Amino acid sequence: MNGPASKISGCAQQVRRSGSFELPCNADKAFPLFSPEGEREWVSGWDPKPVFPEKITFVRDTIFREGTGVDEALWTLVDADWRTRRAEYVRTAPVSHTAHIVVEIEPLGAERCKVLVNYTVTIFGEGAERYVDSFSESAYSAKMENWRGWICTRLETLASDR
């Protein structure tokens, strides 16, 4: 459900965006790519640091930090359901925004799947205008296309390494 930004209170705004893309791999292979450690494989500069437990795991209540400066955020893995291939995160950058992110992987066949990504972002404080712009409908569509491209490149690299 894509919707316009809506005012919550003061200068805070909330934006909801949904997007999807297909990948040329099965859902079981795709799901771990959306874990904190799995994203290292395809997101340039992604470098999560554990808060709890001491090692980042892809299980409920794992907490880690990622980013630097005003972009540093605390991430909580609310749920990671391997059976349904659904991951849910809350990301909080204390000076600018919080986001609720849900990623679901749907099988489409033996070697195809669909990735659905839903964001609800509440933007406030420092850098609010920048975050509003980064969650426009066109920016979100571009984000989904970038993710698809980066993951497909990684999958091709893995296939050629065999």
> For the domain 12-160, what is the CATH code?
3.30.530.20
Work out the mean pLDDT of the chain and round it to a whole number: 90
Are 41 and 154 contacting, i.e. CB atoms less than 8 angstroms apart? yes
What pLDDT shows up at residue 131?
73
25 forms beta bridges with none
What pLDDT shows up at residue 154?
93
What pLDDT shows up at residue 144?
97
What pLDDT shows up at residue 134?
82
141 pLDDT band, cuts 50/70/90, is: very high
Domain ranges in the chain are: 12-160
Amino acid identity at 119: Y
What pLDDT shows up at residue 1?
46
Angstrom distance (rounded) from CA 84 to CA 132: 31
pTM greater than 0.85 (yes/no): yes
17 pLDDT band, cuts 50/70/90, is: very high
Asked if residue 127 has pLDDT above 80, the reply is no
The stretches of the chain forming alpha helices (DSSP H) are 27-30, 128-134, 137-160
